[in-house]
Structure 1
Amino acid sequence: MADKALPPIPVKRYFTIGEVGELCGVKPHVLRYWEQEFTQLRPMKRRGNRRYYQHHEVLMIRRIRDLLYDQGFTISGARNKLQELVQHERDRRKAGEVPLEGMEAVEIDHEAFEAALHDEEATPSAARSVDLSQLLQLRRELFEIRELLTVGR
Structure 2
Amino acid sequence: MSDPSPTEDLPPIPGKRYFTIGEVSTLCDVKPYVLRYWEQEFTELEPVKRRGNRRYYQRRDIIVIRRIRALVYEQGFTLDGARRRLAGSVEKRDHTESRQVVRQTIAELEGVLRILKSTTRERETLRTRGELPPQGP
**What's the TM-score once normalised by structure 1's chain length?**
0.62
Q: Distance in 2 between matches of 1:42 and 1:56?
A: 9
> Which one has the largest radius of gyration?
2
Please give the residue correspondences for 1:110-149 in structure 2 after superposition, counting only pairs within 5 Å: none
Q: Distance in 2 between matches of 1:4 and 1:64?
A: 14
Q: Distance in 2 between matches of 1:4 and 1:82?
A: 19
* Equivalent pairs, count: 97
1:61 match:
65
Please give the residue correspondences for 1:63-102 in structure 2 after superposition, counting only pairs within 5 Å: 63-96=67-100
1:18 match:
22
Deviation at 1:82, TM superposition (A): 0.3
Q: Is residue 51 of structure 2 the alignment partner of residue 36 of structure 1? A: no
Q: Distance in 2 between matches of 1:37 and 1:56?
A: 17
Q: Distance in 2 between matches of 1:86 and 1:6?
A: 22
> Partner letter of residue 86 of structure 1?
V
The SS at the match of 2:13 is coil
Q: Is residue 7 of structure 2 the alignment partner of residue 3 of structure 1? A: yes
Gaps of 5+ in 2: 102-137
Displaced runs of 4 or more, over 2 A:
none
Deviation at 1:61, TM superposition (A): 0.2
Aligned-residue identity in percent = 59
> Partner letter of residue 69 of structure 2?
R
Deviation at 1:47, TM superposition (A): 1.0
Q: Distance in 2 between matches of 1:31 and 1:21?
A: 8
RMSD: 0.8
**What's the TM-score once normalised by structure 2's chain length?**
0.70
